[in-house]
Each structure stands twice: as C-alpha cells, then as structure tokens.
Structure 1
Amino acid sequence: MAPEPPPSETLFVTGLPIDCTNEYGKEIFAQYGTVKEVTTLPVSAGKNAKAAFVIMETVDDAKWIVEHVNGNVPQNLTDPVTVVFATPRADRAKGKGMKLGGRVHAASGGETQW
C-alpha cells in the first residue's frame, strides 16, 4: 500500500452532497479556517456523493480538519465526510493515481482493479 500523503494545505474530501458547488464547499469549510479554493469533482456514475479538493490557507487549518472533521458531519450537512490530505499534484501527474475503494484511479483516468 502506498504511504499516506504528507500534511499540506490541500485536502481531498468525499461524502459531500451531490448538489455541492465550489461556493457551498467553501462555506462548509470556512467554519474551520480560511479557505483559499474549493474544486468539486464531477460525480461518477452510480455514486450518490460528491468529492472535492479543498485548499486551506495554512497547513495547521488543514491538519485540524483532518483530525476533527474526518468521519464526522460538518455543520449544515446530514452525512459524515471523509477528509484526507491530497496526494501532491506532482505525484498525481506521474500516474501514481489515488487508491479509492480497491481501485487505483490513475491521472490518465483509467482504473485498475487491485
């Protein structure tokens, strides 16, 4: 199994409402610190939740969110979210991909079953 990404300002969040926008994502996480940017991702076929990259102003804000929000229900939401540090962009670009649910999602968009 690949090592976990190092702490950084960039978080990968899953379990967001299907209708979550970049602006709403920013509102959700602004209650925990200064949010620089939120990029919601298209919903994959068969999924009932959205994922997003959330970039916080500081690593400390991001660490706090991973430690205290991961697995919990943020205010104004009804379901728990999963929050982890994002794989650094350079590593994603090298095709290392992200392991999600037993599949590797490579930067090329392909999937490989483990």
Structure 2
Amino acid sequence: LFVGSLSWNVDENWLRREFEHFGDIIGCRVITDRESGRSKGFGYVEFANADDAAKAKAEMHDFQLDGRPLNVDFSTPRDKPDQNARANKYGDKRSAPANTLFLGNLSFDCSNDGIQEIFAEYGNVTRVSLPTDRDTGALKGFGYVDFGTTEEATAALEALNGQDIEGRAIRIDYAAPR
C-alpha cells in the first residue's frame, strides 16, 4: 500500500504499529530525504496477503494520524516489459553482482532526488550519481546508484530493469568496481 500525507513525526515503527493489526506485514518504509534524513511525507506498507491490504486500505484511508488524514491507496506494481529483449538482440551479458548499479537510457528529465525516491523502495541508497556535460550541465543519459548491500542492489535491478522512468525504458546492470 502507498501511504501518503504522513506527518513528519511518523517513522517506520509508528507506521508499522498503525497497520500491523490488519495482517502480516512483510515490508514497511517511510521515504526520507537523503541529505536531511527527514520524512518526505509518504511511505509503503506491504502485506503478505492482498485481502489484508484491502482491509487496511478501506479502514485507514482518511484515518487521522498525528493530526493528518492519511491518503492510503494500492501501490501500483510497475509492469515488467520483456527485460531480455534488448539483451537478446544485442548479446548483452550481465556483470558480476555488486552494490552499485549502472543505469542506462535515462531521460534527460531525471533528477537525483527522483532516482533516489524510486530506488529507495528496494533498500538503503547511499549515493546517486547522474553525470552531466561539463559545458552545458545537461545530463548524459546514464548514472549510478549505490546501495548498502549487493542484495538490495539485486532487488532493485530485478524489479526496475526495463521499467519506464520519465518516459524511457531504463537499462540496469551491476557497475564494475572502479
């Protein structure tokens, strides 16, 4: 479930406590600003079973939490286009697993914060780097995301490779250590 309109006081433990009586929670995150560490005012609660999520959505939408009515909705899983189509066409081989991901085919409209927000759903993002042209400042169309662990990077790669971000199907691979 997507949970929006959260007070900045609500952390992951508080959010989990508010939802745990609806069923088995397998994931709970409050999305925070990377630099300040402050909540961005939304998060996600993932239930083991869809019926529990539906019950929680029905009862918790507009529920007053810390003085704010919650906006609760189903989080739409991103459709998975055929991730192997390009690899098969061009003979791409995946690099060895690492905690840094290479992102290719990025839209020039992407931002560090936007990429951070998307990838933070899969783990602790420690750095986002979107190289720019030295003269124009325009994005070069690729970037890197560092995670705390290789497992988090793998989860993001498997979920997001080939997904549409800012109108472009991004290509993700593990980045070779520099």
Query: What TM-score range do you get, normalising by the shorter chain?
Result: 0.5 to 0.7
Percent identical pairs in the alignment equals: 30
Contact 1:35/1:54 (8 A) holds in 2: yes
Structure 2: state its 5+ residue gaps.
Answer: 1-90, 134-138
Tell me the equivalent position of 2:156. 65
Tell me the equivalent position of 2:168. 79
- Flag the structure with higher helix content: 2
Q: TM-score, normalised by structure 2?
A: 0.41
SS of corresponding position for 1:54:
strand
* TM-aligned CA deviation for residue 79 of structure 1: 2.1
Structure 1: state its 5+ residue gaps.
Answer: 90-114
SS of corresponding position for 1:23:
helix
Q: TM-score, normalised by structure 1?
A: 0.60
Contact 2:98/2:176 (8 A) holds in 1: no
Q: Which protein is bigger by CA-based radius of gyration?
A: 2
Count residues with an aligned counterpart: 85
C-alpha RMSD over aligned residues? 2.9
SS of corresponding position for 2:168:
coil
SS of corresponding position for 2:118:
helix
Q: 1:4 and 1:88, CA in 2 relative to 1: closer, same or farther beyond 3 A?
A: farther
The one-character-per-residue Cα deviations of 1:49-83 (angstroms, maximum 9, x if unpaired) are 62111001211111112222111225xx3321100
Aligned pair 1:54/2:145, yes or no? yes
4+ residue stretches of structure 1 with deviation over 6 A?
A: none
